[in-house]
Amino acid sequence: MVVHDTAVTAALRGVCRDAHEAVEQMTTGEGLSVTQEHRLAARLIEVGDLLDEHADQRAAGAGIPGSKIAAEDGAPSGHRGRAEEAVE
């Protein structure tokens, strides 16, 4: 699990850096090309999937269903986050 933790941490750091750079470009008016937006969106999805898989593995290792962990953490069931709720 430690190796997987390291991979997840590295992926999160990378996507945070990419997102920060995108926000800076958009804030300054420089903006992103459509290709850059698609690449960032794909990266966010990939890292989100990796993090979701990591959480599922932790839940399985603890013998707790993933939805129970989400409820304990205060997250709504179904792995929905604030960004998804804001879109609705």
pLDDT digit string, tens, across residues 53-71: 999 888 888 887 755 555 5
Domain ranges of the chain: 1-59
Residue 38 pLDDT level (bands cut at 50, 70, 90)? very high
| Dihedral angle sign, alpha carbons of residues 54, 55, 61, 67 | negative
What pLDDT is stored for residue 41 in this prediction? 97
Question: What pLDDT score was predicted for residue 86?
Answer: 47
**pLDDT at residue 26 greater than cutoff 50:** yes
Q: What is the pTM of this model?
A: 0.67
Q: Cα-Cα-Cα-Cα dihedral of 61, 74, 54, 36, to 10°? A: 180
pLDDT (mean) for 36-55? 95
Residue 73 CA to residue 65 CA, distance in Å, equals 13
Residue of 36, 11, 10 lying closest to 23 (CA atoms): 36
